[in-house]
Amino acid sequence: MDKYSGKLAVLCQSLSDKERSQELADRLDVPLYGFVGKECPESFFLSWRDGCLKLLDKELLKKGGLVVDIEPRNGEQRSWPAPKQDALAQALGRKTKTVVDATTGWGQDSLHIFRMGYDLLCIERSPVMAELLCDGFNRLLAEDWIQTLKLQPPQLLRGNAIELLQTLNTLPDCIYLDPMFPPKRKKSALAKKSMVVLRDLLGDDQDREQLFEVALKVSGKRVVVKSPDYAEPLGGKPSESYQGKLLRYDVYLKN
């Protein structure tokens, strides 16, 4: 049985989106609906709204939806490249030029890394997240600053990073990992809606240790793991660690 069967559908509420909605439903092998009735078994929906591809759960059906947000973070400078001064930049390292984000998810860390001017490759294995990222990166391409600076959005590889990392032609200076760890408590009031929905849709990344081992093998200089502050370091004692808000960036340097 397909992994989205009974879980996800595409919702099309505008005639002008009919064709691309049908194509999306075909690509993901899920049903296409014009509305969501009570009897509908799926809990998640992809839908084009306000010019963006959005992920909705039943709670978000009326209110809106979740998108790959391409706007700079609060407090981030709008210049390009943005200054490399926060805990993430420190963890990536001063000499790092090339980064692979092997767990791109909603692309929020990736887009921050991209805006700081690193040469970035993104990997995502969830076909739903890859569709949302693709839409986000297309919107980024249309941004004035990207056009003016003649930049290209990051390249996205779809598939399992455990396999894809081993096929890279050049070793990246840094591989960045932010896999899904089990939550401390079942439902945390602090958890962002986008992360709650991601967890409900995909579950924890049970193979994160294997991903770490492959990343350490193929990275040129370092692996950075973002962890919740309560979680044990993924690869044992890190070489360095940088503290963020409720999280840590553990750095594993290669000899």
Per CB under 6 A, contacts with ligand SAM among 187-206 are 198, 202, 205
Contact region with ligand SAM (CB under 6 A), list: 9-17, 103-111, 146-154, 232-240:
103-111
In whole angstroms, how close is the CB of 34 to ligand SAM at the nearest point? 28
CB of 164 to ligand SAM, least distance (A): 7
Nearer to ligand SAM, 174 or 211 (CB): 211
Q: Which residue in 105, 120, 121, 115 sits closest to 75, CA to CA?
A: 115
| Interatomic CA distance for residues 132 and 171, integer angstroms | 27
Kindly tell me which residue out of 103, 137, 218, 250 binds ligand SAM, with binding defined by CB under 6 A.
Answer: 103
Q: Is 21 in the site for ligand SAM (CB under 6 A)?
A: no
C-beta pairs of 48-55 under 8 Å, 24+ apart in sequence: 48/12, 48/14, 48/17, 48/20, 48/21, 49/13, 51/139, 52/135, 52/136, 52/139, 53/24, 53/131, 53/132, 53/135, 55/128, 55/132, 55/197, 55/201
Per CB under 6 A, does 126 bind ligand SAM? yes
Choice from 93, 105, 154, 235 touching ligand SAM (CB under 6 A): 105
Question: Is residue 131 involved in binding ligand SAM (CB under 6 A)?
Answer: no
| 135 touches ligand SAM (CB under 6 A) | no
**Contact with ligand SAM (CB under 6 A): which of 24, 30, 53, 123?**
123
Q: Largest Cα–Cα distance of the chain, in whole Å?
A: 58
Q: Which residue spans within 150-203 are E strands per DSSP?
A: 155-158, 174-177
Of the candidate residues 122, 132, 174, 211, the single one contacting ligand SAM (CB under 6 A): 211
> What is the spatial distance between Cα 67 and Cα 56, in angstroms, rounded to a whole number?
9
Residue 176: count of CB within 10 angstroms of its CB: 29
**Among residue numbers 215 through 244, which ones bind ligand SAM (CB under 6 A)?**
none
- We find the least distance from the C-beta atom of residue 170 to ligand SAM, in angstroms, to be 19
Q: Where does this chain bind ligand SAM (CB under 6 A)?
A: 102-103, 105-109, 123-126, 129, 160-162, 178-180, 198, 202, 205, 211
